[in-house]
């Protein structure tokens, strides 16, 4: 029988538990400190709920409202610069946080993840420019 090294044991036993705890605590502090993050999380939840075979109650059609896309992209851009990562990674964190708080079903999670990736990939940039130029174009909270 081969003995496991302390490093291997540490990697197997502790790798996920502490990471999620730290990420959850970090996220909770950010939600309290920054209204924009809360706005983004609420927008993601509302969007996820409004799809076919979802909980309903959301007021969205097939896309985020321009003001929501603008806020989500702004958070993604700011955090990606600070943490030296991609917009998609920050978008995944926002979806994770919205999911953790709302317990999305599979369809809701897919819907939210797909559309936030679309924001990260630039598919909302035209709508975002309208908001930046003061034209808005959608419902806001």
Kindly write down the DSSP assignment for every residue of 28-49, as one continuous string. HHHHHH-HHHHHHHHHHHHHHH
- The answer to whether residue 44 is domain-embedded is yes
Print the domain residue range for 37: 17-132
Work out whether the CA dihedral 28, 30, 31, 33 comes out positive or negative.
positive
- The answer to whether residue 88 is domain-embedded is yes
- The answer to whether residue 92 is domain-embedded is yes
- Residues 41-47 have a mean pLDDT of 94
- The answer to whether residue 3 is domain-embedded is no
- The answer to whether residue 127 is domain-embedded is yes
Higher-pLDDT residue of 101 and 11 is 101
- The answer to whether residue 25 is domain-embedded is yes
Give the per-residue pLDDT at 15: 55
Give the per-residue pLDDT at 141: 47
- The answer to whether residue 2 is domain-embedded is no
Contact yes or no for 102/81 (Cβ under 8 A): no
pTM: 0.80
Q: How confident is the model at residue 13 (pLDDT cuts 50, 70, 90)?
A: low
Q: How many domains are there within the chain?
A: 1
Rounded Cα gap, residues 33 and 30, in angstroms: 5
Q: What are phi and psi of 50, to 5 degrees?
A: -85, 0
pLDDT beyond 90 at 11: no
Rounded Cα gap, residues 54 and 49, in angstroms: 5
Q: Which helix (H) or strand (E) holds 115?
A: helix 106-120
Structure tokens at 140: 């806001």
- The answer to whether residue 24 is domain-embedded is yes
Higher-pLDDT residue of 15 and 64 is 64
DSSP 15: T
């Amino acid at each position: 029988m081969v003995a496991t090294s302390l490093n291997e044991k540490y990697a197997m036993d502790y790798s996920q538990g502490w990471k999620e705890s730290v990420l959850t605590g970090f996220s909770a502090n950010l939600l309290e400190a920054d209204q924009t993050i809360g706005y983004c999380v609420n927008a993601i939840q509302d969007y996820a709920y409004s799809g076919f075979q979802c909980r309903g109650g959301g007021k969205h059609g097939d896309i985020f409202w321009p003001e929501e896309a603008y806020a989500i992209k702004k958070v993604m851009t700011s955090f990606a610069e600070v943490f030296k990562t991609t917009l998609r990674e920050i978008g995944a964190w926002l979806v994770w946080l919205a999911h953790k708080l709302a317990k999305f079903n599979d369809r809701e999670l897919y819907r939210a993840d797909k559309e936030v990736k679309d924001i990260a990939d630039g598919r909302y940039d035209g709508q975002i420019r309208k908001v930046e130029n003061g034209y808005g174009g959608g419902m806001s909270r």
